[in-house]
C-alpha cells in the first residue's frame, strides 16, 4: 500500500535517539494484523506526528544537555520530503469501504502512544 515505506519508517531513527539517551526501544504494544483501513488510520497518526515534531525539534535541539540536544533523528526524520502531503494524497485517493475502521485504527494508534508515554 505504501511502496515508499522504507523512506517513511522511523524505527531506526528513534532507536538511535534512545541509544544516545542511554535507553533502548521496548515493545510495549501488541498490534494485530492491519487491514488497508487499519493501515490508513495508523499511518494517519504516524505521519501526522511529523507536524508536531517540527515544534518539538527546536526545544530538544536547544537543550543544555548534549545527550538530549543531539537526540533529534526521530524528530527531524523526513524533513523537507513532503511525507505528510504525500500521505494525504494517498489517503484521499484510496477507496475506503469502512471509514469507522480507519478512525478506530487511528484511535488505537493514539492510545498506543499514550500508553508508551505513561510507561516512560
- Specify the DSSP class assigned to residue 81: S
Relative orientation angle of helices 36-61 and 99-119, to the nearest 10 degrees: 40
Give the tens place of pLDDT for each residue, 63-116. Answer: 999 999 999 999 999 999 999 999 999 999 998 989 999 999 999 999 988 888
Q: Which three cell numbers stand for residue 33?
A: 494484523
Specify if 27 maps to a domain. Answer: no
Counted residue by residue, the chain has a size of 120
Q: How confident is the model at residue 30 (pLDDT cuts 50, 70, 90)?
A: confident
In this prediction, residue 21 carries a pLDDT of: 92
Distance separating the N- and C-terminal Cα atoms of the chain: 32
Specify if 3 maps to a domain. Answer: no
* Residue ranges in 30-98 assigned as alpha helix (H): 36-61, 66-69, 73-76, 83-93
Number of folded domains that form the chain: 1
In this prediction, residue 110 carries a pLDDT of: 93
Q: Which structural domain range is residue 60 located in?
A: 8-22+33-119
Amino acid at each position: 500500500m505504501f511502496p515508499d515505506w522504507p523512506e517513511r519508517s522511523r524505527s531506526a531513527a528513534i532507536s538511535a535517539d534512545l541509544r544516545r539517551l542511554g535507553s533502548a526501544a521496548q515493545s510495549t504494544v501488541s498490534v494485530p494484523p492491519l487491514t488497508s483501513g487499519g493501515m490508513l488510520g495508523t499511518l494517519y497518526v504516524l505521519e501526522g506526528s511529523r507536524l508536531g515534531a517540527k515544534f518539538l525539534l527546536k526545544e530538544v535541539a536547544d537543550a543544555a544537555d548534549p545527550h538530549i540536544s543531539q537526540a533529534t533523528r526521530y524528530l527531524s526524520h523526513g524533513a523537507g520530503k513532503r511525507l505528510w502531503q504525500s500521505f494525504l494524497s494517498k489517503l484521499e485517493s484510496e477507496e475506503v469501504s469502512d471509514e469507522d475502521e480507519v478512525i478506530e485504527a487511528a484511535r488505537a494508534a493514539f492510545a498506543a502512544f499514550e500508553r508508551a508515554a505513561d510507561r516512560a
